Structure formats: C-alpha cells, structure tokens
Amino acid sequence: MQESMHPARQRAGFVFFGLLLAAAGAISDARAEERLFHLGVYAGKAAEERMLDILTRYNTGFRDAYLVALAPGMIVREHARWRQELETQVVKHFGDQDHWEINAAWLARWMRFPWDHHVDTRFAAGFGLSWASEVPPIEPRAKLDEGESARFLGHVIVEWEFAPPGGSDWSVFTRLHHRSNASGLFDGDRGGSNFITLGVRRRL
C-alpha cells in the first residue's frame, strides 16, 4: 500500500499552492504599466545567531560559509506608500558548504521615509519557499551543532534598500537571507541558516 504524504510535506504543498494563487491574483490585477522588472545580485556570509537575535540585538559572529545570489524580481501591485513584489533567486554556496539553492518569495516593500529627499530608503520583508540541491551542512543547529535540517524549507527576507533621490534605476541593499522549517511547517527539526548580505539592484 502506498504510504500517505508526510504531514509536513502536505502542509508545505498547501503553502506553495497558496503562494501560486496569490501571485497569479496579484499579477492579473496589476495593470501593464505598473509592472516593473528588476535584477539584483548579492553576496554574504553565514551568521552564527538566529534570525530574531540578529534583528533585535544587531550582533552576531560569522561562520566560514558564503553565498552569491542572482535575484530577478517583478513589481506586481503598487499602493500609495508600499508595493508588492515577486522574486526568484538562484544561489551558489561555497566555503563550509558547496551546493545550489533556488528560492521563490513574495515581498511587501514600504516606499516612504521622511529622509527620502536625502537618501531614497525602502524597507522590504518577504516569505516563500527554498530548495537546496543537498541538505546544507551548516544548517543542523541546536546550539549550532545538533538537530536536523532538510533540502526543502521556508524562506524569509528582511531588507533595507537605498538609492539616490530622484528616482534612480540603481540601488544598493543589505538583506538577511533566512532558511528555516517555519516552526514545524516543513521538515527539519532544528534546521536553519541566516546570511547577512550586501547587493546591488537595477530596474529594467
């Protein structure tokens, strides 16, 4: 008899299907003139601390693991002060781990800050799915040395973007690139990783 689908994989499938529906709805509602493609390239180093510790304490050590990512994206809906985007990433890891990673994410980007006339600033946060070509060696971590991870995990993005005032097509950004089991939604008991990265983006 064929085994039933693992509950975590089933939940992950529902999440993936929901993301596809949300993306399709957003794109179908967006007018052609509102669609704007962009291409980002970023690189970074693996952090030792967990995501919440990095975001709240602004302090972490680093591990000898690195990534380089190519990240094409698309604006799917504009709002008065923020916008929705879809992004995919092709990621190459090297150092303590050597594999490929493919991600897809939905992002919300806040576009207005009081100092934009000096530095055009935007803040983005997003979530999606991440697939690795092998189980990343640095990800099993309970105290960073135990636990389990998996090839298929959740993906979270937290990013600050900066550009010259006046609508420049170029910008730079710093991003926290996160993989985890999303509190049990995916396989991987304690698996996860965080990379602190810097990048450049060009509107197309």
User: 7-203 sits in which CATH class?
Assistant: mainly beta
Name residue 189's amino acid. Answer: D
Domain ranges within the chain, ordered by starting residue: 7-203
How high is the pLDDT of residue 1? 40
CA angle 199, 172, 114 (to 5 degrees): 140
How high is the pLDDT of residue 123? 98
| Number of other CB atoms surrounding residue 39 within 10 Å | 13
How high is the pLDDT of residue 129? 95
Point out the residues of the chain with pLDDT beneath 70.
Answer: 1-35, 141-147, 183-184, 186-190
The tokens for 202 are 């060009």
Q: Phi/psi at 53 (nearest 5 deg)?
A: -65, -40
How high is the pLDDT of residue 192? 86
Predicted TM-score (pTM) of the model is 0.82
pLDDT, tens digit, 9 for 90 and up, residues 77-133: 999 999 999 999 999 999 999 999 999 999 999 999 999 999 999 999 999 999 999
